Amino acid sequence: MPELPEVETFARGLNLRLKGKRILDVLLFREKNIIGNPDEFKETLKGKKILRVSRRGKYLIFSLSEGYSFLSHLRMEGRWKKLPFDCPIDKHRILSMALDDNSRLDYVDTRKFGTLELKRNKDVFSTPPLSLLGPEPLDVDFETFKERIQTENKPVKEVLMDQTILAGIGNIYADESLYKAKIHPFEPAANLDDGELKTLYQAIRTILKLAISLRGSSVHSYVPTFETEPASMQERLLVYGRAHEPCEACGTPLTYTKLNGRGTTYCPICQKRKNAAFVLAITGPIHAGKSIAGLFLETQGFAHFDADMEVKKLYKQADIQRTMKEILGKKAIVKKQVNAPYLRDLFAKNPLKKKEWMDYLYPKLEEAYLSFYASNKNARGILLDVPLLLDSPFLNCPDAILLIDADIEARKQRLIDEGRDVENLMKINASYPLKQTKKIATFVIENNGGLDDFSNELNLLLRRIREAR
């Protein structure tokens, strides 16, 4: 979705080319994009002169003669095009205006989410949607900015993207501003002190001004239609769109997660949570060395949340066992014990049953984790050990992900040395999503050598985390 710099670029280009032009006729091809009466919208625009095109938040404002305006919100992929009158028609055209200079102005929207709304000039800023918007981030003074941000207890990125608090900032420039200010996107806004807020205020202004000067960020489908040069802010982005690439400052792979469904990229080292333990998720295929790494980190002051152990505790509870029998069948519990072979077979044959059970179990497990986190937030760190990390809601919890890997032969030999059932255990582990995990892991340790080599790697990792924090 175009944000403040992109919409500002559109507004300037449109204003330069449309100011003083008269609308001779209007053709409407899709009425659903019009808020209000489509016929009134179309008929009112005919004969009006375009006085100027400006921006408020993410809205374009077309100010017309005779006391009217209309608002345009581009949403995901909306775009205005001024074309020769006889130019071929775009199949995604929503609206077309014939202008008095033998050109036409088309609104094209591939996704068809954009909106157009007719307004009386006197009502443009005093009625929704514009009356609901917060101040412009480039116009607001610091004291007002501080007052609006600091009173919110939600994650600061969520606050920055709330259009009623500040108008115009979206996913791209929220990520970039927080990275420049070295503030964690999940940090509650109310936790930020005056110094941090001042840094964030300046970061937002610097980045937005730079983005406007570079005609916005050409990501997804945005193109600055009226500019002779392409958008180039995307070449300056330090975190957005760079998930798992090295941080420009410290070299740590950037973390990608989601906040209220929106992709969020940040550096787990440079953007620290305040008064919170560093959460390191640990994952890896069977017998790669995850248990040894966990024991080592425990000795270094990390509190260890072991999801497998927590599940075993939950499975001993009578109410959990009752629900398990209801969802998975009476054979799931035998003599007040979980029937593990039955569950493995059921889940392998019926993935929907597995999902139904996980949908019930995960909230219980999350509740246990949140309680654990609250009790250990002053620890040196928290080790989050969830075997199926990629398939769990815990993927959004860690500051960083540590993948312990080892080649297949090394893992097999370790199982042989311990007298374990190599064939079955390796078969079970064959479904481990190693390629996908490598793509999202912050740190990867290849444990193919001896114990001393592995210990050295773990010590280097720990030193890196400590020095940066």
Domains of the chain: residue spans and CATH: 4-132 (3.20.190.10), 142-241 (1.10.8.50), 278-468 (3.40.50.300)
Look at the block and give the residue holding tokens 């993927």.
395
In this predicted structure, the answer to whether residue 227 has a pLDDT above a threshold of 60 is no
Residue 402, classed as helix, strand or coil, is: strand
- The residues, any chain, with a CB within 8 Å of residue 183's CB and separated by 6 or more, are 156, 192, 196, 199, 200, 271
How far apart CA 298 and CA 291 sit, in angstroms, is 11
- The residues, any chain, with a CB within 8 Å of residue 381's CB and separated by 6 or more, are 277, 278, 279, 280, 297, 300, 301, 302, 303, 465
Q: What is the pTM of this model?
A: 0.82
Q: What is the pLDDT of residue 348?
A: 85
Model confidence at 260, pLDDT cuts 50, 70, 90, reads confident
How far apart CA 289 and CA 236 sit, in angstroms, is 39
Mean pLDDT of the chain: 91
Q: Which positions are catalytic? A: 2-3, 58, 262
In the chain, % of residues over pLDDT 70: 96
In this predicted structure, the answer to whether residue 410 has a pLDDT above a threshold of 90 is no
Question: Model confidence over 13-52: pLDDT tens digits?
Answer: 999 999 999 999 999 999 999 999 999 999 999 999 999 9
The amino acid sitting at 118 is L
